[in-house]
A and B are shown apart, each in its own frame.
Chain A
């Protein structure tokens, strides 16, 4: 029988880190400018795919980067930075190519329909929105907002990954600790982090309902509700994950 209390007690800090990671992921999704299906028809501003899918794509790129760096260097700051930068690079590469297609393939300029003037470039927006649409493309404000979202989401995902790796490699009494390179540990932790990311990016999608342009969108103000929901959802998730990964370490891996 596995001593659950004995597993949770030394890992309280990491449960807290997982909960913070989940909350960060939830907040980050509000920043990412997604237009859903309408954006694929140049009918709404933002990246032309669904909220969860895009956030998950960026988060996964962050997890891949954080995993690669964690294997080489276990410094918390470096791993978190790698996660954030990995997600930002994925979003930036997607958005710049999206802009090429909007500008040269569809012939529309990037424009927001939610504000009259772009808060960053101060460009006039409303005159450039074509008839019957809610804006199109990815204007500078949406690009910057998405990058902030990518950074926060990558941080959150990397924090959850880092915390679980620490739980898995902790030296429990009477057990040889697992190595950071242990394939089974890395597999279980990465799979859990991805599931965790999906859960925390679905919760804010109830706020977003299809499309959001970024921090300048009125829907962005709803973020505290999703953050609280994700915070609460992440507590049981964190406890279960720590028990599962800790138990794996206690029995000395698979």
Chain B
């Protein structure tokens, strides 16, 4: 393929990946999946009964990997066996995945809340009715976007992996990225807004999640509203970077042309990594200077 067209396809892949990352994080925020779920699960045991959707079907990477595999399998069957147009098939595949994900979400919250009956945690049926469609909508978006990424990679950029396998792999990676980035915004900030801003969660405050909203009791959609301002889009940027940069270095220096190009593409990747490392160090330096230490240095006080 012409390098310029490849770059265009890659730009589309990057955009789809960004949407996939953002929707993946927001899906896990509504349902409080992933690491921050430990606090939602712990809260009733500490006496804090809440109205937050509590589902953790599996770890985020595995759950998303399964969703994307189901979607891609459905889409591929429709394309190969029934002759559907790819775009239509990808949408139906994502729809099937969203429905499966919705059913898992309902069984997850029912099971989790029922097991906490001894801590007086109710099962709010209205919560399940209002949140599950939102979760399914985000699951649909994630699956569709990951399918688009994989489809374009396999059929436009000639990636050697089978379409379904590549969807599974990118599903696991989007879960891994979402769990490592956006969920911090939910877990460390949104769920503990009554704690002072600018410090980590004191271990003694574990389980003491915020249960009251701006109006009424807080639920998963309130968390979604907050996290969609920063955590969600940032996760999108992160997954977009993973997909875009990882493929871009191979497009700029095509390893098919020879070993020198192959090594140059690897070198370009190393340069990107070093730049990101320096940026991280710069943020570390900046925040240390701006935010200042939490404690006084007693040794220096004595010597002064």
Contact = CB atoms under 8 A, between A and B. Distances in A.
Interface of A: 36-37, 39-43, 47-50, 53-54, 56-58, 60-61, 63-65, 67-73, 75, 77-78, 81-82, 84-86, 88-90, 92-110, 121, 123-124, 126-133, 135-140, 143-144, 147, 180-181, 183, 186-187, 190-191, 194
Given A90-B173, A101-B230, 13 more contacts: A41-B200, A53-B60, A56-B61, A61-B242, A64-B173, A78-B259, A82-B250, A90-B246, A97-B235, A108-B199, A110-B284, A124-B293, A194-B169
21 contacts: A41-B36, A41-B191, A48-B35, A48-B187, A50-B59, A53-B59, A57-B173, A63-B169, A82-B250, A82-B266, A92-B272, A97-B241, A99-B284, A101-B182, A101-B184, A103-B286, A108-B198, A130-B294, A133-B201, A140-B284, A190-B161
B6 interface: no
Interface string B56-77: 0001111000000000000000
Contact of B246 (A41, A61, A180, A183): A61
Given A96-B280, A132-B202, A69 B250 contact: yes
Given A56-B176, A93-B242, A132 B204 contact: yes
A216 to B, nearest CB: 15
Contact of A186 (B160, B266, B296): B160
B178 to A, nearest CB: 9
Given A53-B61, A82-B265, A97 B234 contact: yes
A100 B273 contact: no
A65 B248 CA distance: 11
Contacts of B241: 89, 93, 97
Contact of B176 (A57, A96, A131, A136): A57
A105 B181 CA distance: 11
A77 B262 CA distance: 9
A144 B273 CA distance: 10
A78 B34 contact: no
Contacts of B291: 107-109
B259 A85 contact: no
Nearest to A97: B238
Contacts of A143: 277, 280-281
B24 interface: no
Interface of B: 34-36, 38-39, 59-62, 158-162, 165-166, 169-170, 172-173, 175-177, 179-189, 191-192, 197-206, 230-231, 234-235, 237-238, 241-242, 245-247, 249-250, 254-256, 258-259, 262-263, 265-266, 269-270, 272-273, 276-277, 279-281, 283-288, 291, 293-297
A132 B208 CA distance: 14
A127 B295 contact: yes
Contacts of A137: 284
Contacts of B272: 89, 92
Contact of B185 (A67, A85, A106, A136): A106
B175 A57 contact: yes
Contact of B169 (A64, A93, A136): A64
A53 B179 contact: yes
Given A101-B234, A147-B273, A107 B161 contact: no
Contacts of A50: 35, 59, 179
A95 B293 CA distance: 23
Given A41-B36, A88-B269, A60 B169 contact: yes
Given A93-B276, A127-B293, A102 B184 contact: yes
B173 A130 contact: no
A191 B235 contact: no
A53 B28 CA distance: 16
Contacts of A58: 176
